[in-house]
């Protein structure tokens, strides 16, 4: 995102301003086949387009952040990716920040290409931030870090996910006794050191992980999927994140999307969630 005199130059600064203005809820725009069917739409590229753009029109003027999951668009091939491009452009035009949920992770020139696709404002998929996986080694994310710094973008790095397979890797102990997740958070703490009002390098930590002994205060944002229909509550966010709760973006998809295609109902769900989450700030 290119900065202007009235636009903060870093993702962290833009995010803080957006959350202060609209609230912290992140709305996932995830066109599951079941949701398309629930809306009475065909499971094809045209149904995808009608679904996704209806959601954008309803929620992007009111949510601080939207998060399209790229896989649900990619499954329709080039027509689906074209819809994803429309979602990115329309969401930005409505004033929402866009986090591309792609969970990419590779090495060298391949990482650089992914970073260009999702973080370069010249790209049709250029977003404010992208989700990435550090499990090829945190250094494999260097091209993403460099692109984020160059373009004023951000990253959300997988750290403590709520899927049952996650602890096998994330809770593993390193030679110094720290966990893999703890090491990821340490890297983010280093990247965000001295950033004001908030760093641009965030973590993905599930809102339904139960509890953790990791230090979640790393001067960066936290994307917390699982809020709402998947069981995560405002009380869970407060309990899990403690003093860092003000930096958390609770993410909800089905809790909002299942209210469609009624645009007013989706809008009201966003507003109600942000009203409840205001207690965290």
**pLDDT tens sequence across 199-251:** 999 999 999 998 889 999 999 999 999 997 777 889 999 999 998 999 999 99
The answer to whether residue 231 is domain-embedded is yes
**Residue 270 near residue 25 (C-beta atoms within 8 A):** yes
Does 1 score more than 90 pLDDT? no
Q: How far apart are CA 73 and CA 81, in angstroms?
A: 6
The answer to whether residue 5 is domain-embedded is no
Identify the domain containing residue 173 by its residue range.
21-280
The answer to whether residue 13 is domain-embedded is no
Structural domains of the chain, count:
1
Element (H or E) spanning 65, and its range? strand 65-68
The answer to whether residue 14 is domain-embedded is no
CATH code of residue 81: 3.20.20.70
Q: How far apart are CA 126 and CA 107, in angstroms?
A: 20
User: Of the residues 43, 89, 95, 103, which is catalytic?
Assistant: 103
Strand partners, 132: 104, 157
Q: 67 an active-site residue? A: no
Which pTM value belongs to this model? 0.94
Q: pLDDT, tens digit, for every residue of 77-130?
A: 999 999 999 999 999 999 999 999 999 999 999 999 999 999 999 999 999 999
Kindly state the average pLDDT of the residues 264-269.
Answer: 97
The answer to whether residue 11 is domain-embedded is no
């Amino acid at each position: 995102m290119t900065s202007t005199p009235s636009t903060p130059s870093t993702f962290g600064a833009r995010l803080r301003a957006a959350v202060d203005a609209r609230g912290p809820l992140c709305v996932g725009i995830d066109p599951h086949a079941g949701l398309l069917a629930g809306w009475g739409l065909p499971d094809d590229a045209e149904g995808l387009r009608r679904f996704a753009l209806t959601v954008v029109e309803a929620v992007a003027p009111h949510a601080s952040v939207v998060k399209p999951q790229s896989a649900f668009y990619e499954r329709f091939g080039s027509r689906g990716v074209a819809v994803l491009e429309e979602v990115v452009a329309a969401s930005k035009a409505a004033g929402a920040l866009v986090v591309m949920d792609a969970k990419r992770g590779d090495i060298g020139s391949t990482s650089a290409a992914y970073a260009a696709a999702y973080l370069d404002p010249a790209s049709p998929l250029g977003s404010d931030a992208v989700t990435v996986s550090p499990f090829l080694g945190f250094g494999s994310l260097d091209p993403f870090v460099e692109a984020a710094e160059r373009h004023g973008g951000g990253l959300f790095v997988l750290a403590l996910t709520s899927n049952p397979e996650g602890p096998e890797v994330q809770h593993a102990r390193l030679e110094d006794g720290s966990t893999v997740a703890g090491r990821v958070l340490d890297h983010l703490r280093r990247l965000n050191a001295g950033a004001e009002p908030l760093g641009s390098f965030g973590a993905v930590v599930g809102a339904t992980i139960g509890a953790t002994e990791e230090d979640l205060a790393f001067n960066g944002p936290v994307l917390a999927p699982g809020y709402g229909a998947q069981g995560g509550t405002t009380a869970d966010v407060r309990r899990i994140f403690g003093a860092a709760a003000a930096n958390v973006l609770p993410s909800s998809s089905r809790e909002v999307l299942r209210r469609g295609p009624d645009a007013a109902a989706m809008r009201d769900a966003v507003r109600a969630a942000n009203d409840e989450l205001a207690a965290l700030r």
